[in-house]
Amino acid sequence: MSKKKTSKNITKRADEDLLNTLHQLIAKDLIARIQSGDASVQEVSAAIKFLKDNDVVADIEYNQPLKMLEQTVDIKELPFDTEEE
């Protein structure tokens, strides 16, 4: 005999407010870990992935630290494949 699915077996999805709260908590925790200097390599990687997954980008025209980095680093020395972008 097969068992019929009942309403008890249906998984409820988290509502939007709950997901937004979780998103904020993760972001705040990653920021706190990085700012404290206690972030592991994995946590920094998680923060980078979090930004990428949320389509967060930095525009060098409006970002002073990126401008300073551009002035101090020779772009030709970076290990990036320029044909990818």
pLDDT tens-digit series, residues 2-24: 555 555 666 788 889 999 999 99
Identify the residue with better confidence: 45 or 4: 45
Is 19 inside a domain boundary? no
Structural domains counted in the chain: 1
Q: Quote the CA–CA distance of 1 and 73 in Å, as a whole number.
A: 69
Q: pLDDT band at residue 85, thresholds of 50, 70 and 90?
A: very low
Full domain range(s) for residue 53: 25-74
Q: Which amino acid is at 21?
A: T
Is 47 inside a domain boundary? yes
Following DSSP, what letter does each residue of the chain receive, concatenated?
-PPPP-GGGSPPPPPHHHHHHHHHHHHHHHHHHHHHT---HHHHHHHHHHHHHTT----GGG-HHHHHHHHHS-GGGS---TT--
The percent of residues in the chain predicted with pLDDT above 90, rounded, is: 46
Q: pLDDT band at residue 57, thresholds of 50, 70 and 90?
A: confident
